[in-house]
Structure 1
Amino acid sequence: MPAASSFAIDVPDRLLRRAREGERAALEQLCRWFERPVFTLALRLTGDRDEAQDVLQETMLKAIAKLGEFRGDAPFWGWLRQIAVNEALMQLRRRRRLDESLDDDGFEPVDASPPPSAAADAAALWRALEKLPAATRAVLWLYHAEGHTHEEIAGLMQRTPSFSKSQLARGGRRLRALLEPQSEHATEVQHA
């Protein structure tokens, strides 16, 4: 099961009821409340602002269309986040970005350790993530940030669990390599 999000907006039942009834003001309010977190998630997965904007629009349209399916037995953000993740991955597939830079030659042992300590600097981490292939970045994000298992990632990305494991291992190595020069440079600057 995906990790619980630290982001939470309490959506009143009354607002959800009004939105399900098609009240425009209620639908607009839901969209405004969740616009930023959906866009941020989409940006993390796609690495592209235009694609993230497309994902945001598709997510909101799909959520409005499927609002009657939301049972309310889990937080609204969890339900909406899953729609956003699916839309982001579909966006990547549509753009054929998943296959562009993959050289999947088989399973490699998984290194499921979290990113290196240099990743504490969120800006440096994001710059490094942007340099990774889209599929690798998506696997890293889904595994570490969203808390999905390899089996869940495989299902979401229409791949095998070994694909998820190999991308996580490769992505972790690439991410560390991208972050290490920055931490060495920072150490040199501190000692200068």
Structure 2
Amino acid sequence: MTGSPFQIDVPNSLLQRAGQGDMRAFEQLYRLFERPAYTLALRMLGDPEHAREVLHDTMLKAFQRIAQFRGEAPFWGWLRQIALNETLMRLRQRRNDVGHDNELTDIADESAAPWVLADAGALEWSLGELPTQTRSVIWLYHVEGYTHPEIADMLGKTVSFSKSQVARGTAKLRSLLTTETELDRCPTYRTSMA
């Protein structure tokens, strides 16, 4: 599944003008899609600076390729795929810089997303505690709706790698969210954080 529930109506005339090189039209597109493209990269990378770089690379590629957009699908779907590809490229680059893979083999229950009832602040903190690649795989699986074979293909990994990242990462996320909830209920923790 590569679709997204997020949509912004974009007038065809704006897309046509941008496709013909109208910089004002492209600037409007940039402003419309800056936030969702940045958010996608930030959620997967967990680093605002890298997310901004991905945003700029995404928009530059979109500008270079906008004449190729045929309007057969929503514009955000097309742009989102560019943003996703740029983000995955950045993840691969970071993984290669580290010089090792952290392939996990244990499989836990992955059926339920642990954040369904989570507080937004606790979820943001908990996601930030996960390793970058684990957070990205969880995001692709639970939020973007990609299958394990699709994730494995995008990352150049095995299906079992995707499954283990989701399983272990989901278990870790669930544990972090439980800990955060328990700490939030503790009166001394709440007082010390105020």
Q: Could you tell me the TM-score, scaled by structure 2's length?
A: 0.88
For this pair of structures, how many residues does the alignment match?
189
**CA RMSD for the aligned pairs?**
2.2
Q: How does 1:128-167 map to 2 (within 5 A)?
A: 128-167=126-165
Q: Which consecutive unaligned segments of at least 5 residues does structure 2 have?
A: none
String of CA shifts for 1:9-36, please: whole Å, max 9, x gaps: 1111111111110111111111111111
CA distance in 2, matches of 1:159, 1:93: 11
Q: How does 1:94-109 map to 2 (within 5 A)?
A: 94-96=93-95, 102-106=101-105, 108=107
Aligned to 1:48: 47
Q: Which consecutive unaligned segments of at least 5 residues does structure 1 have?
A: none
Q: Which amino acid counterpart does residue 29 of structure 1 have in structure 2?
A: Q
Percent identical across equivalent pairs? 51
Please report how far the alpha carbon of residue 121 of structure 1 lies from its aligned counterpart in structure 2 after TM superposition: 0.7
| Residue 44 to residue 68, structure 1, CA distance change in 2 (3 Å) | same
Structure 1, 163-172 or 179-188: larger mean CA deviation: 179-188
CA distance in 1, matches of 2:24, 2:184: 50
Q: How does 1:33-112 map to 2 (within 5 A)?
A: 33-96=32-95, 102-106=101-105, 108=107, 111-112=110-111
- Decide whether the 8 Å contact of 1:9 with 1:77 is kept in 2: yes
Aligned to 1:113: 112
Q: Which amino acid counterpart does residue 134 of structure 2 have in structure 1?
A: T
- Decide whether the 8 Å contact of 1:55 with 1:88 is kept in 2: yes
Q: Aligned pair 1:25/2:24, yes or no?
A: yes
Aligned to 1:179: 177
| Residue 69 to residue 175, structure 1, CA distance change in 2 (3 Å) | same
Q: Which amino acid counterpart does residue 40 of structure 2 have in structure 1?
A: L
